[in-house]
Structure 1
Amino acid sequence: MTTTAPDVDQSDTIRLAPRPGSTGGRWAEPPPPPPPGRGHGRLGRLARGPAGDPVWVRPALLALLAGTALLYLWNLSASGYGNSFYAAATQSGSQSWKALLFGSLDAGNAITVDKPPASLWISGLSARVFGFSSWSVLAPQAIEGVAAVGLLYATVRRHAGATAGLLAGAAFALTPVAALMFRFNNPDALLVLLLVAAAYCTVRATERASARWLMLTGTCIGFGFLTKLAQALLVVPALGLAYLIAAPTGLRRRVLHLAGAAGAIVVSAGWYVALVDLWPAASRPYIGGSTDNSLLQLALGYNGLGRIFGSS
C-alpha cells in the first residue's frame, strides 16, 4: 500500500531556509501581523493624532502651536523685564525661598506685591533655574500662552470638531490683547491659562457627569484665586450653570458634584490664605495692598469690592 503526502497550502506557511549542515528546511507558521497602531512609536502616534481625525488635523495643530510659540517668544527681550514691579518680586524669589513663597517685593521680605504669588512662583523658579534675565522673567508667560491655545483647541474640539477647535485656537492666539498679555509678566497670563483649563475640565465633567473632572475644575479656579484673587471667580456661575443643566445625571447628584467642586475651590485656595494668616506677622513680609496685613482683607478690599465700587 502506498500513501501520498497531504497537500500543503503554501499560502498559509513559509519555507524557511535550511540551517547550515542540515539536509533540508522546515515548515513554520507565519509571524502574526503587528497590532493596529503599533510599530510606529509614540512619536508617530503623536504626529498622527486620534485615529478618527483626518490626516491634516494633527499637523495643523502642531503648526498652530509652533506658530503661537514663535509669535509669543520672538524678540521677547525687547520688552526688557516687562512690569518692573513683578520683575523685582521674581528677582527676590530667585534669591530667597521665603520671598518666593510670599511673593515679596524684596529679598529682605519687607513687603509683598499686591497680588497672591502663584504667577511669581513660576517666574521665580524660572529665574532660579536659568538665572535672572529678561527671558527667564518673560518666557514662562509665553509658554503659558501656548498651553492656553492648546487647551482651548482641545475644549472646543470635543463638541464642535477639530476644525472649530483650530479656528478657536488661532483666533485666540492672534487676538492683540492675548499676544500682549502672554509677552508680559503680569499675573493675567497664568490666570487665563487656569481658567481655560477650568473650562476644559468642565466640558469633560459634563460629558459623563464626572465628579472627578468637576473637582479638577474647582482646583484650577482655586489656583486662579491664588493668581489674581476674585477675578478667577467670575467664571464660576457660568461653569456651574453649564454643569447643572447639561450633566447626564439626576439633579441631586449634579448639586452634590457642584458642592464638591466648591469645596475644591476652598481647599486649593484656602490652604495658602490660612498659611499666610497663621504665619507669625513678625516673621513674614507685610501683605502689600492690604490695610491690616491680611491676605483675606486684600482679597475682599483692594482687589475685591474696592475694585467694583471704586473705593480702593
Structure 2
Amino acid sequence: MTATAETLAAPLPAPEPQRQVRWEPWALGVLLVGTGVAYIWGLGASGWANSFYAAAVQAGSVSWKAFFFGSSDAANSITVDKPPMSLWLMSLSVRIFGLNSWAMLVPQALLGVGSVALLWGTVRRYFGAAASLLAGLVLALTPVAALMFRFNNPDALLVLLMISAVWAMMRAVQDGRTRWLVLVGIFCGFGFLTKQLQVMLVVPPLALTYLIAGPPKLGKRVLQLFAALGGLIVSAGWWLAIVELWPADSRPWIGG
C-alpha cells in the first residue's frame, strides 16, 4: 500500500517533446479556420438568440454601470440571473461594432475557436499531433458545442474557462508548481462569475487529480490545493464583494 502511494505521489516525467509532423500546421490551420467559418457563417440567423441576455448586452453597451452589474436595462432596475462576465465580452463588441446580432454573437463564436485551439494544445503536449487534432475536431463538431458557440448564453465562456482549468492542472501535475494550482483556482473563479455553480462540476475531479498524482509530498499537495481555493475565492469574490458593499439604493436589484 505504501509503495503504491509513493508511486502515485512520485513526480511525473516531463513529456517528451512531440515532433511536429509536416502536415500538422496545415491541419491545425484548416481545423481552426474551418471552426471559425462554421461558427460565424450565418451567425445572424438566430436573431437576438436569448432575448433575456440580449437585453443585458444592449444595456451594458450604453451604460457602464449596467455593464458592471449585468443589468437587464440601462436604467439599472434589475440584473440578469447570472454574474455578468460572459456579458462583458458581448457588450464590448456591441460598443465597438454597433447593436446587431452579429456583433453580439461573434465573441461567442471566437470563444469556440479558442476552446478548440486550447484543447488541441493541451492534448498535443502529452499525446501528439493526431490525438490533439482529433480532440479539437470532436469538440468543434459536437452538435451542442456548435449550438452554444453561436448563441449568447454563458456556456461558451464557461467551456473555455473549464478547458483552461484542465490545461493548468495538467501543468501542475507535471511539475508541481504552486502557480499552476493558483491559476486553476483563478480559472474556476472566473467560471463562477460566468455561470455560478456550474463550474463546480470540474472542481472536485481537478482537486482529486492533484491530490492523487501531484508530485510533491502529501502535506504540500494539500497546502497547494488551499492556495488554489484561495485563487478561486479571490477571482470570484472581488465582484461579489463590490456588489455587496455598493449602497443598496444605488445598485440594481440583484436577480438570482
Which residue pairs with 1:301 in the alignment? none
Structure 1 residues 7-56: Cα deviation after superposition (integer angstroms, max 9, x where no partner): xxxxxxxxxxxxxxxxxxxxxxxxxxxxxxxxxxxxxxxxxxx8821121
Which residue pairs with 1:101 in the alignment? 68
Which residue pairs with 1:166 in the alignment? 133
Gapped runs of 5+ residues in structure 1?
Answer: 1-49, 290-312
Which residue pairs with 1:77 in the alignment? 44
Distance 2:79 2:103 in 1: 20
How many residues end up aligned between the 2 structures? 240
**2:129 aligned partner, one-letter code:** A
**1:195 and 2:162 correspond:** yes
1:259 to 222, 226, 246: 226
**Secondary structure in 2 aligned to 1:221?**
helix
Which residue pairs with 1:218 in the alignment? 185
1:143 to 104, 107, 110: 110
Structure 1 segments, 4+ long, off by >6 Å, are none
**1:227 and 2:194 correspond:** yes
Distance 1:114 1:249 in 2: 41
Gapped runs of 5+ residues in structure 2?
Answer: 1-16
Structure 1 residues 138-184: Cα deviation after superposition (integer angstroms, max 9, x where no partner): 11100000000011111111222221111011001100000000000
Distance 2:19 2:139 in 1: 25
Q: Which has the higher contact order (CA 8 A, sep 6+)?
A: 2
Q: Shift of residue 252 of structure 1?
A: 1.5
**1:55 and 2:19 correspond:** no
Per the normalisation by structure 1, the TM-score is: 0.75
Write the mapping of 1:28-47 to structure 2, written as runs, cut at 5 A.
Answer: none
Q: Shift of residue 248 of structure 1?
A: 1.7
Distance 1:51 1:185 in 2: 37
**1:284 and 2:251 correspond:** yes
Distance 2:204 2:186 in 1: 15
Distance 2:238 2:199 in 1: 16
**Secondary structure in 2 aligned to 1:257?**
helix
Distance 1:51 1:222 in 2: 32
Contact 2:56/2:87, CA 8 A, preserved across alignment: yes
Provide the identity percentage. 60
Structure 1 residues 189-223: Cα deviation after superposition (integer angstroms, max 9, x where no partner): 11111001111111111110021111111101000
Per the normalisation by structure 2, the TM-score is: 0.92
**1:248 aligned partner, one-letter code:** P
1:273 to 225, 240, 244: 240
Q: Shift of residue 58 of structure 1?
A: 1.7
Distance 2:246 2:220 in 1: 38
